[in-house]
Structure 1
């Protein structure tokens, strides 16, 4: 068995409201064990679908989380997962765009 990391995207949306809020997206990095990459992809999709849920928030609004996309599945390069293990790497060229979509960098209050 090998260890893989899957990158999943889910979205949270409130039932239609007058304020027109945009969805909140969540990117999750999930560790999986599988014999092959195809098996890991299948497990990742199942995991993403299992993340779907609905509930009422403190304002009584219906919030629905839906699985949107399996972005990637990659084998974890280190055989031992522990302190300092690199799980996943991606590259990008536009730091301003990254900052704009990442709430923790843009100062947006979730």
Structure 2
């Protein structure tokens, strides 16, 4: 990145609901690449991006209103590599550590072999 900017990763959770009820909820986790010159600027850009791209409502095929909202920004941090070539096969951008693999497996529905 140039001009004093660097790459950050923003992680946020969004929630969708159908109609006025809090039933049939669906959540998703999004990882967004942010270009900023400071952690504070990166966080503000992450908030703006999440609010501008996620918060929306639209009718589904049954005429019910589907609403998406940002639930929480869970992390904004430097990417592991600031300078990366998009022509390479792989670049590590973000790592999250944890201590309890069984909980992680159950959270994401993973089997022992995955």
TM-score, length-normalised on structure 1?
A: 0.81
Deviations 1:12-42 (A, max 9, x none): 011135xx73411110000010000100000
- Within a 5 Å distance, the mapping from 1:66-105 to structure 2 comes to 66-78=69-81, 79-82=83-86, 83-102=89-108, 105=109
Where structure 2 has 5 or more consecutive residues not aligned to the other structure, the ranges are none
Out of 93-102 and 24-33, give the one that drifted further: 93-102
Partner residue of 2:11 out of 4, 7, 14:
7
Partner residue of 1:46 out of 45, 48, 56:
48
Out of 53-62 and 79-88, give the one that drifted further: 79-88
1:92 is displaced (CA, Å) by 2.0
- Within a 5 Å distance, the mapping from 1:45-64 to structure 2 comes to 45-50=47-52, 51-64=54-67
TM-score, length-normalised on structure 2?
A: 0.78
Out of 51-60 and 40-49, give the one that drifted further: 51-60
Kindly report the root-mean-square deviation, in angstroms, between the aligned alpha carbons of the 2 structures.
Answer: 2.0
CA distance in structure 2 between the aligned counterparts of 1:26 and 1:54, rounded to whole angstroms: 16
Query: Which has the greater radius of gyration?
Result: 2
Q: Secondary structure at the match of 1:73?
A: strand
